[in-house]
């Protein structure tokens, strides 16, 4: 019985480690996509690029505000996919858009 519990614990640990590695890889992919496609306007920290704010003539390009945090993933996914205001529609795949959304949400934490 002890060995069975020990084996079950080891298997659980291995599965969790694999899931954690997958999550880390997804975060790294999301970060790379964000840096390539989004950081130019929204800044590396999500607080907005002040120079782009001035160039585009908009109030704020930050995405880590409480207002943004209140929006659903569906709402933000639509903005990423279709664009909004002066933000163009994304050329990323749906999977890449999800990765960018996940990473951008992590910036607000």
Return the CATH number of 2-107, one of 1.10.760.10, 3.30.1540.20, 1.10.357.10, 2.70.180.20: 1.10.760.10
Give pLDDT tens digits along the chain (109 positions). Answer: 565 655 655 555 445 554 444 444 447 789 999 999 999 999 999 999 999 999 999 999 999 999 999 999 999 999 999 999 999 999 999 999 999 999 999 998 8
Measured CA to CA in angstroms, residue 34 lies from 28, 29, 42, 46 at distances of 10, 8, 9, 10
Of 56, 31, 57, the closest CA to residue 44 belongs to 31
pLDDT of res. 24? 46
This prediction has a pTM of: 0.74
């Amino acid at each position: 019985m002890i060995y069975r519990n020990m084996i079950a614990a080891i298997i659980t640990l291995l599965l969790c480690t694999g899931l954690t590695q997958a999550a880390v890889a997804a975060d790294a992919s999301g970060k790379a996509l964000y840096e390539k496609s989004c950081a130019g306007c929204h800044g590396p920290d999500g607080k907005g690029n002040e120079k782009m704010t001035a160039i585009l003539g908009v109030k704020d390009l930050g995405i880590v505000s409480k207002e943004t945090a209140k929006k659903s993933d569906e709402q933000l996914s639509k903005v990423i996919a279709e664009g909004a205001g002066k933000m163009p529609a994304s050329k990323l795949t749906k999977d890449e858009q999800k990765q960018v959304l996940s990473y951008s949400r992590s910036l607000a934490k």
